[in-house]
Amino acid sequence: MNAGLDARLARADARLRRDYPGADGGRQPVHTVYVPADRIRRGLAAAWGEQAVAALRAFAPGAAELAAATGLEEADVAAALPRVLAKLDREPVEDLRVDAEDGYGVRTDDEEDAHVGAAAAALGADVAAGTAPPGVGIRMKGMEAEGRRRGTRSLALFLSGLLEAAGGLPEGLRITLPKITSVEQVEAAAWALARMERLFGLAEGRLRFELQVETPQCVIGPGGTADLARMVRAGGGRVTALHFGTYDYTAACGVTAAHQAMDHPAADYAKAVMQVAAAGTGVRLSDGAANVLPVGAAEQVHAAWRLHTRLVVRSLERAFYQGWDMHPHQLPTRYLATYVFYRRAFGPAAARLADYLGSVGGTVLDEPATAQALAAVLTRGLQCGALDEPEVAAACGAGADDLAALAQRRVG
């Protein structure tokens, strides 16, 4: 009988392994920074870090002032602030996109060629010097009829320039595909990337891309089906992430400008579909951006910081561990909110995981899937700099490698 069951379910077992491999255990950035192509310069990440620190000094020079500005507890801010300042000095940007789409606008072909080429040269020089962010890439124009030729041209120019300036493509290279309205567009993008791999002599599968979820058609197709799950598979293993486009999506759903926001119910619905479509596939999730920038007088900066902090924490609580940042002054609250989140989670998660790993009787009986989630939150905290390995190992009895292995273990 067992042999018969194995035979009957062999195809289903193979499909499950192929379509739902689980997390790959690699580091996910806490944010993606979008900068228009014509504003990319060498050393941009370091310059953003310097501007972020200057904003802290000007508008919240101490933990008490920063707590009042963000709405976080002063004790939490005081504990996290030294780490935030160190992060802004060491690695202020984790993931950088050259924006050749909405943030850049429509230019002449000659202008876009020049700007994309210069951006690739600048990023490539930083990659070669070891000063580039861990993740770099481009948001090209999408596969819709009016933009696809310009989009693929800019992508080819960007890849060519990066290869020339850096001597190769960085490991953290990502391509963002916006304005998706059909499964066929994802298939076409995968086909185009395969062609570019052959053009540039790259290994098959080297070029991977993120899907920007910003149209209703991306979430629910014309037949009433959740086409986003099909889109993930249509990439043929090249799709790495789903990024939510807050303002395009909510506008397309008829939400007026004053109410377009990351926490609008229409946005929450789309992100819930994204979450289910990506679950178990290894495809990562990213929330969108807060469009209220922390600039102007102190009162305006503090209001924007408080909003940004609340939205970052809200995303983290809903298992969206990445978001977009659009201005250097958003970096302090991105890292502060993220670090406070992980440091608050640290003690309870480590204690429960220690009980689980040691089979110690406690007040909560955790399932293997919960233990995996506990390991995942500690791993994420370690990867972004919110936690240190010695303190985590002392608290739960497992090192970073063991936690990462447990976090990506398939359960169920």
E strands of 51-193, at which residues?
95-99, 135-139, 173-177
pLDDT in tens, 71-120: 999 999 999 999 999 999 999 999 999 999 999 999 999 999 999 999 99
Rounded CA gap, 192 and 156, in Å? Answer: 10
The average pLDDT across 208-226 equals 94
Q: Which of 57-66, 134-143, 394-403 has the lowest mean pLDDT?
A: 394-403
Query: Any bridge partners for residue 274, and if so which?
Result: none
Angle, alpha carbons 90-384-397 (nearest 5°): 125
User: How many alpha carbons fall within 13 Å on the CB side of residue 6?
Assistant: 3
> Residue 359, exposed/middle/buried by CB under 10 A (0-12, 13-18, 19+)?
exposed
What is the predicted pLDDT for the residue at 1? Answer: 86
Q: pLDDT band for 24, please (50, 70, 90 cuts).
A: confident
Question: In the predicted model, what is the mean pLDDT of the chain?
Answer: 94
pLDDT at 50 over 70: yes
Q: pLDDT band for 409, please (50, 70, 90 cuts).
A: low
- Its pTM stands at 0.94
Q: Which residue has the higher pLDDT, 212 or 371?
A: 212
pLDDT in tens, 31-44: 999 999 999 999 99
In angstroms and rounded to an integer, the radius of gyration of the C-alpha atoms of the chain is: 22
What is the predicted pLDDT for the residue at 23? Answer: 84
The average pLDDT across 235-255 equals 96
The amino acid occupying position 23 is A
Instruction: Map residue 285 onto helix, strand or coil.
Output: strand
What is the predicted pLDDT for the residue at 412? Answer: 44
Instruction: Map residue 292 onto helix, strand or coil.
Output: coil
pLDDT at 408 over 90: no
Query: Any bridge partners for residue 383, and if so which?
Result: none
pLDDT in tens, 359-392: 544 545 567 888 888 999 999 999 999 999 999 9
What is the predicted pLDDT for the residue at 366? Answer: 60
Q: pLDDT band for 411, please (50, 70, 90 cuts).
A: very low
The average pLDDT across 256-278 equals 97
> Residue 14, exposed/middle/buried by CB under 10 A (0-12, 13-18, 19+)?
exposed
Other C-beta atoms lying within 10 Å of the C-beta of residue 198: 9
